[in-house]
Amino acid sequence: MRILLTPLVRALTPTVALVLTCACGSRPAPPSPEASSTVASAFERDIHSFARPDEARVTHVDLRLTVDFATRTLAGTATLTIRRAPGAKSVVLDTRGLTVSGVTSADGASLTVTRGTADPILGQALSIALPDGVTQIVVAYVTAPDAAALQWLAPSQTAGGVHPYLYSQGEAILTRTWIPTQDSPGIRQTYTAHITVPRALRALMSAESLTPDGVEGPAGRTFDFRLTQPVPPYLIALAVGDLAFRPLGPRTGVYAEPSVVDVAASEFAELEQMVVAAEALLGPYRWGRYDVLVMPPSFPFGGMENPRLTFTTPTILARDRSLVSLLAHELAHSWSGNLVTNATWSDFWLNEGVTTYVENRIMEAVYGPRRAEMLRVLERRELLKTIADLGGMDAPDTILHVNLAGRDPDDGATQIPYDKGAALLRVLEQSCGRPQFDAYLRSYMDRHAFQSATTAGFLADVRGRLCTADTADGSSKAGTTQAIRSPEWERTVRLDEWAYKPGLPSNAVVATSEALEAAGAQAHAFAGGTAARALRTQGWSTEEWLHFLAELPPALSPGQLADLDRAFGFTKRGNSEVLFAWLRIAIRQHYQPAMPALEHFLLSQGRRKFVRPLYEDLMGVAWGRPEARHIYARARPLYHAVTTGAVDKILGVGVSEPRKP
Ligand code: BES
Ligand code: ZN
């Protein structure tokens, strides 16, 4: 049974509150938003939201929107259900760039709206006076054509080339550019939606589809959706396009444009197995279906864990299933992130670090320990490189609980929360063994399901429960836990150092992989003069190729690069990760023959992880600067705002320039 938090309990310490909110069971019952207490909210304010949820909290969003490709706007209403604390006189919403034409109560009476000052990062608070008894408000609004969450694609930017395409990207604080609601990860909301699109297109959302084929009406085709599990608003997502579907398993499937969907279905054939592996580790999948939508090439992320419908980049389609760890990652978010959510963006590592750990465990379960350990070795290299890039072991941005005061949460989205976060979980796993750790992780998900988590709350929970005798059923009562870990546990694990200090603690577990050592030895042999063709590379996996490229010496002659390229065809690789690694080397060495491929890569996809470093590399060398500007002039209209935002800074593109020409 779920125990509701009373105001008194809310005033207690987070540890006590965590114990009292124990769900004490593993049944996947979706709670009502009323019952989904947010342990953290009373203690940690979200500096990236204007909302004052302790006074008035949005619990449900009902959208009625029309998608207009001609004006690049969504127009309609958001009807918000509000839970009011006694005495609350208003509700404060987050908005950014929305044109709100009016706010009424459910019976149509107009309500007084007060707008705050606009902040470039946070947007604008919208405060609505609530007469006594009003618990529903109807906000009539239109989005801006350049709303940061939305990307409007012309037909030429899609795989099919005939129909336009629209999608939203809410994380971290972009949902407020298309939905006027309380846009904070600690404010969970259920939602319903009624979306009207041009007749030839299909709408999908991160929700159950109630009318899969849509309903024809005078204004177009209308699709209805419902998500009964409460989620933070960054997980409300919409995609509209010419989309086909292929089932993969009983509750899994893939959507993509018709010309891509079969390739995607074969690439993702093991998706159902991954869900089964994740459930074995973390408990039941609580969202019903798990489908994947392959996005057009400009999608700025590798993947986005929208509930029931992960969005992925098409650059994952290597045609040999070699990049599917990305699916394992987004799937893992169905627990870490979507079920147990970071309370604020400073706790982002609780979403991404736990997910990166679980991703590797899913890979191990489905593809074996050899592949998983290779991935961990590559991950550690990335982590050390990120720490160096951020300024070394003392750099403040290498702290897991990152300080985001006055900053965009995006600034904290480095590899640190991912790889240092996962590294902390591996230290915990090692500190008392896998069976104990797995029991703890499972109980953590159950006990905090549909709630948010703070860094302090997580550390307290670990201290109170990890490797104690009764972790497995999560039913420990204060004072009765029998510690089975050694008295030195706290001193060896160094939790506070991991969470609150920069750098990488020296007790991090170092992964090793014989396969990668062998691949590294081949790179060293090449550096020592062995011809590329004489290297032993037969049957190498993507991980081995990536390690080989990373282990090559920093300076290579044009002749050596040509030798590698002739032997292994790097410039023509279809695997986006291998091509990306090779192109970085090519820029570093000014390897001219790879430049057309570089240009093509930058013009054919907009994944920020690939695009940003390549422009950075180009801008780092004198010959590269005009190249970068020349390519970017054509590529910029193809990219999402998330990507142009990053690349504009690198190229010094002024704010006065239009974002989407
Ligand atoms: N939730 C993230 C994407 C994200 C992060 C969106 C921060 C907005 C702000 C997603 O789960 C993710 O981590 N994607 C990675 C791929 C993953 C395999 C590491 C990405 O997009 O590169
Ligand atoms: Zn993630």
Is there a domain that residue 447 lies in? yes
User: How many domains would you assign to the chain?
Assistant: 2
User: What CATH number has the domain bearing residue 486?
Assistant: 1.10.390.10
Residue pair 58/81 in contact (Cβ under 8 Å)? The answer is yes
State the pLDDT confidence band at 641, using cuts at 50, 70 and 90.
Answer: confident
Which of 474-488, 510-524, 616-630 comes out lowest in average pLDDT? 474-488
Nearest protein CA to atom 12 of ligand 1, as residue? 303
Separation of CA 418 and ligand 2 centre (Å) = 8
Q: Determine how β-strand 290-294 pairs with β-strand 252-256.
A: parallel
How far is Cα 278 from Cα 366, in angstroms, rounded to an integer?
Answer: 10
Q: For tokens 């005798």, what's the residue?
A: 469
The response to whether residue 607 sits with its C-beta less than 6 Å from ligand 1 reads no
Mean pLDDT in residue range 362-373: 98
Are 96 and 3 in a shared domain? yes
> Per mean pLDDT, which range of 3-17, 53-67, 227-241, 581-595 is the poorest?
3-17
Asked if 275 contacts 290 with a C-beta cutoff of 8 angstroms, the reply is yes
Q: Please check whether residues 28 and 51 belong to one and the same domain.
A: yes
DSSP 652: T
**pLDDT at residue 244 tops 50:** yes
* pLDDT score of 44: 76
Across the range 350-374, mean pLDDT stands at: 98
| Residue 331 and residue 270 share a domain | yes
Give the torsion sign (CA, 281, 282, 287, 292). Answer: negative
- 303 Cα to the center of ligand 1, angstroms: 6
Distances in whole angstroms, Cα of residue 4 to Cα of each of 36, 386, 543: 8, 42, 47
Task: Indicate whether 653 belongs to any domain.
Answer: no
With a cut of 50, say whether residue 18 has pLDDT above it: no
Q: Cβ(140)–Cβ(132) under 8 Å?
A: no
- The average pLDDT across 45-58 equals 97
Same domain flag for 28 and 155: yes
Residues 6+ apart with CB under 8 A from 483: 467, 468, 469
Q: Are residues 227 and 265 in the same domain?
A: no
Q: Do residue 11 and residue 101 come from a single domain?
A: yes
pLDDT band at 70 (very low <50, low <70, confident <90, very high): very high
Q: Which ligand is nearest to the CA of 326?
A: 1
**133-to-79, 137, 468 alpha-carbon distances in Å:** 16, 11, 48
Contact call for residues 421 and 352 (beta carbons, < 8 A): yes
Cis peptide before 172 (omega within 30 of 0): yes
**Closest-lying ligand to the alpha carbon of 606?**
1
pLDDT at 491: 96
Interacting residues of 337 by C-beta distance below 8 A, sequence separation 6+: 305, 351, 352, 354, 355
Range scoring the smallest mean pLDDT among 525-529, 573-577, 641-645: 641-645
d(CA 659, CA 661): 6
Domain presence at residue 148: yes
Q: Over the range 239-269, which residues count as b (16 or more CB within 10 Å of their CB) and which as e? A: bbbbbbbeebbebbbbbbbeebbeebbebbe
Name the residue at shortest CA distance from atom 20 of ligand 1.
302
pLDDT of residue 486: 85
Taking CA atoms, 254 is separated from 266, 267, 308, in Å, by 10, 10, 11
**Would you say residue 505 has pLDDT above 80?**
yes
CA nearest ligand 1 atom 2, residue: 304
Residue 313 CA: nearest ligand 1 atom is 21
Task: Give 492-495 contacts, CB < 8 A, sequence gap 24+.
Answer: 492/431, 493/427, 493/428, 493/431, 495/459, 495/462, 495/463
Q: How confident is the model at residue 285 (pLDDT cuts 50, 70, 90)?
A: very high
**59 in helix, strand or coil?**
strand
Q: How confident is the model at residue 451 (pLDDT cuts 50, 70, 90)?
A: very high
**Ligand 1 atom closest to Cα of residue 302:** 21
Which segment of 6-20, 170-184, 336-350, 603-617 scores lowest on mean pLDDT?
A: 6-20
pLDDT (average), residues 29-52:
64
Which atom of ligand 1 has the smallest separation from the CA of 351?
Answer: 1
343, 253: one domain: yes
The ligand placed nearest to the CA atom of residue 354 is: 2
Q: Is 362 in the pocket of ligand 1 (CB under 6 A)?
A: no
Tokens of 113: 């709206």
Question: If DSSP codes are grouped into helix, strand and coil, which group holds residue 88?
Answer: coil
Give a yes or no: residue 578 inside a domain: no
Give nearest CA residue, ligand 1 atom 1: 304
- DSSP letter at 296? P
- Spatial CA neighbour of 449 closest among 329, 206, 282: 282
SS3 390: coil
Structural domain including 144 reads 1-231
**Residues making up the chain, counted from first to last:** 661
| pLDDT digit string, tens, across residues 461-499 | 999 999 986 544 444 444 444 557 888 999 999 999 999
pLDDT score, position 40 = 39
pLDDT of residue 318: 98
Q: Nearest C-alpha to atom 8 of ligand 1 is from which residue?
A: 171
95 with 222, same domain: the answer is yes
pLDDT for residue 660 is more than 90: no
Please indicate whether residue 305, judged by its CB atom, sits closer than 6 Å to ligand 1. yes
Phi-psi sector, 558: left (phi>0), alpha (psi -120 to 50), beta: alpha
CA 382/CA 376 separation, integer angstroms: 10
pLDDT average, residue stretch 409-436: 96
**Euclidean distance between the first and final Cα of the chain, in Å?**
55
For the chain, give the percent of residues with pLDDT over 70. Answer: 90
- Verify whether ligand 1 is closer than 6 Å to residue 180 (CB atom): no
Please give the pLDDT value at position 31: 55
Residue 26: what pLDDT?
38
Q: Is the dihedral of CA 59, 86, 448, 45 positive or negative?
A: positive
- Its pTM stands at 0.92
Q: Does ligand 1 come within 6 angstroms of the Cβ of 413?
A: yes
Distance (Å, rounded) from C-alpha 637 to C-alpha 298?
A: 10
Q: Which of 324, 352, 357 to mutate to test the pocket of ligand 1 (most atoms within 8 A of CB)?
A: 352
For residue 483, what pLDDT is reported? 58
Residues whose CB falls within 8 Å of the CB of residue 77, separated by 6 or more in sequence, listed in order? 63, 64, 65, 138, 139, 140, 141
321 within domain boundaries: yes
| Nearest ligand atom owner, CA of 175 | 1
Residue 570 lies in a domain: no
- pLDDT of residue 225 exceeding 60: yes
Share of the chain above pLDDT 90, in %: 88
Tell me the CATH number at 180: 2.60.40.1730
CB count within 10 Å of CB 434 equals 10
Query: If you average pLDDT over every residue of the chain, what do you get?
Result: 92
CA of 337 to the centre of ligand 1 (A): 11
Q: Is the dihedral of CA 422, 428, 433, 434 positive or negative?
A: negative
Q: How many CA atoms lie within 13 A of 139 on its CB side?
A: 30
Last residue of a domain, one of 231, 258, 274: 231
Going by the DSSP 8-state scheme, the letter that residue 295 receives in this structure is P
CB 585 within 8 Å of CB 571: no
Residue 622 placed within a domain = no
Last residue of one domain, picked from the residues 231, 254, 273: 231
Residues 366 and 219 in one domain: no
Do 192 and 220 lie in one domain? The reply is yes
Tokens of 312: 């992925």
> End of a domain among 231, 257, 274?
231
Q: What is the pLDDT of residues 528-541, one digit of tens each?
A: 999 999 999 999 99
Q: Cβ(419) to ligand 1 under 6 A?
A: no
Over 80: is that where the pLDDT of 603 sits? yes
- Average pLDDT over every residue of 534-551: 98
Establish whether residue 330 lines the binding site of ligand 1, counting it when its CB lies within 6 angstroms of any ligand atom: yes
Which has the closest alpha carbon to 149: 164, 171, 166, 168? 168
More confident residue, 14 or 308: 308
Same domain, 314 and 188: no
Strand order in the sheet with 309-312: 244-247, 252-256, 290-294, 309-312, 303-304
Q: Which two tokens stand for residue 467?
A: 């490797």
Q: Just list the catalytic residues.
A: 330, 418
Domain membership of residue 498 (yes or no) is yes
Q: Atom of ligand 1 at shortest distance to CA of 348?
A: 7
Which atom, in ligand 1's list, is nearest to the CA of 413? 7
Residue entry with tokens 């009011």: 84
Is 609's C-beta closer than 6 angstroms to any atom of ligand 1? yes
Helix (H), strand (E), coil (C) string for 91-159: EEEEECCCEEEEEEECCCCECCEEECCCECCCEEEEEEECCCCCCEEEEEEECCCCCCCEEEECHHHCC
pLDDT band at 22 (very low <50, low <70, confident <90, very high): very low
Residue 79's DSSP bridge partners are: 62, 138
Distance of CA 531 from the midpoint of ligand 2 (Å): 40
Task: Specify whether 150 is located in the same domain as 251.
Answer: no
Could you identify the residue written with the tokens 């300076």?
555
Residue 113, Cβ density class (10 Å: 0-12 exposed, 13-18 middle, ≥19 buried): middle
Give every CB contact of residue 135 below 8 A, 6+ residues apart in sequence.
81, 82, 83, 84
What dihedral do alpha carbons 416, 187, 129, 102 form, nearest 10°? 80
